[in-house]
Amino acid sequence: MGLLVISITASLSIGSHMLHPATLPNLLMSYHSLDSADAALLSLRLPRTVLGILAGMALGVSGCLMQNLTRNPLSDPGVLGINAGALLAMALGAGLLGLTDWHIYAAVAFLGATLAALGVHAIGFVGHPPLIPLRLTLAGVAMNAVLGGLATMLILLDAERFDRVRGWSTGAIAVADFTVPVAIMPFILVGLALAFLSVRGLNALALGDELARAMGVRVRRMRLVGGLAATLLAGAATAGAGPIAFAGLMVPHIVRPFAGADERRVLLYTALAAPSLLLIADTAGRVVLSPAEMPAGIVMALVGAPVFIAILRRRSGFS
C-alpha cells in the first residue's frame, strides 16, 4: 500500500513541470476551478493516474489468475495473445466500423480478448496430456504474433483512419479527461469481483485438479469464472490503455516472496503492486526523454523482456 501511495504521488508530481507533493492536497481540492497553472496541470495528470491504477490492477490480477488457473508461471494477458485480440477488435471497430463510444470500445475489446483466449486454450489443450504449460505459452505467442500482425497491417494500410488505434498500440495511459477511466471502470469492477469470488479455491487448485476436487473445489466452474474474470480485466485494460505487456507476468513473481505460499495473498498483493509498477513506468517515461514522452507500454516492455527471460531460464525444467 505504501508503494502505491508513493507511485500515485510521483505520477501526480513528476513531469516536464514539477509539482511539490506538499501542495497536492490543496490542488486536488481546487483543480476544477483551474485558477492556477499548477491546478490546470494536475487536471491533466489526474485522469492518467486513475487510468494507470485501473489498468495496472486489471492486468496484474488477470495475469495472477491465469498463472494459477493454468498452473503456468509464464501466463500473462500479453503472452497468451489476449491483449492482441483486444487490440485487433478495437482496430476493426474504430477503423472499419467508425466506433467512437468508449463504452462500446470496452465491450468490443472484451469480445476480441475472449475470442483470442478461446483460440489459445483450444490449441493449448489439444493433445495428451491435455494441459502442458509450455504448449499453452507457445500457442499464446503464436496467437499474439498473428493478431498483432493483423492489427499492425490494418494501421499501416490506412494511417489516417487508424490514427487513434496507433496511439493505443504503444500502450500509453496519457488521457485528457476522465472519459476513458469512467468507461472501462464498470468492466474492471465486475472483473475484480469475479476474481475475488474465485480466490478461495486457488490454494487447492495449486495442488492439482484431483486434490482440489477431493477438497470440494468445483474445478471446472472455478476455471470458468476465473477465466471470465481474467479475460474481462485484460480486455477492459487494453481498451483503455492499449496492449501493455508483462504487467501481469512480472508482478505475481515479484510479490510471491513477500506474500508466501497463500495464493489469495499473492492475488491481493498483485492488485496493489501492479498499478504501482505501471505508474512508475509511466512516470519514468515522462522524464527519460524529456520534454518528449516514452509511452508506459514501451517502458514496461523494456523492463519486462529481461524479467521474462529470467523466469523462463529459472523454469526451464517444467513441461
C-alpha cell recorded at residue 32: 476544477
Predicted pLDDT at 50: 93
CA torsion angle 22 25 26 31 (round to 10): 120
Single-letter amino acid, residue 269 = Y
CB 46 within 8 A of CB 177: no
As a whole number of angstroms, the distance between CA 123 and CA 306 comes to: 27
Least confident of 52-56, 73-77, 105-109, 159-163: 159-163
Over the stretch 78-114, which tens digit does the pLDDT of each residue have? 777 888 888 888 888 877 777 777 778 778 878 888 8
Answer whether 168's CB lies under 8 Å from 31's CB: no
305 to 94, 170, 280, 309, 312: CA distances (angstroms): 30, 15, 17, 6, 11
275-302 mean pLDDT: 86
Percent of the chain with pLDDT over 90: 11
Q: Which residues contact 36 (CB under 8 A, 6 or more apart)?
A: none
Q: Which residues contact 18 (CB under 8 A, 6 or more apart)?
A: none
pLDDT in tens, 121-165: 777 666 555 556 667 777 888 888 888 888 888 877 776 667 666
How far is it, in rounded angstroms, from Cα 214 to Cα 208?
Answer: 10
pLDDT at res. 235 = 82
If 0-12 CB within 10 Å is exposed, 13-18 middle and 19+ buried, where does residue 153 land? Answer: exposed
Q: What is the largest CA-CA distance in the chain?
A: 66
Please report the pLDDT score of residue 318 as a whole number. Answer: 41
Domain boundaries, the chain: 2-314
Whether residue 32 is predicted with pLDDT greater than 70 in this model: the reply is: no
Cell of 18: 514539477
A 10 A CB-CB count for 276 gives 25
Q: Give yes or no for residue 317 having a pLDDT over 60.
A: no
Query: Cell digits for 278?
Result: 505501471
Length reported for the chain:
319
| CA atoms within 13 Å, Cβ hemisphere of 192 | 18
Calculate helix-pair angle for 179-197, 102-124, nearest 10 degrees: 40
Confirm if 105 and 90 have CB atoms less than 8 A apart. Answer: yes
Where is mean pLDDT largest: 33-47, 86-100, 204-218, 265-279?
265-279
Can you give the pLDDT at residue 58?
93
pLDDT score at 232: 86
Long-range contacts of 15-23 (CB under 8 A, 24+ apart): 15/41, 15/45, 15/283, 15/286, 15/287, 16/286, 16/290, 16/291, 17/41
> Which CATH number describes the domain made up of 2-314?
1.10.3470.10
Q: How confident is the model at residue 37 (pLDDT cuts 50, 70, 90)?
A: low
Instruction: Give the C-alpha separation, 200 to 197, whole Å.
Output: 7
> Which pLDDT does position 280 carry in this prediction?
92
What is the mean pLDDT of the segment spanning 194-222? 80
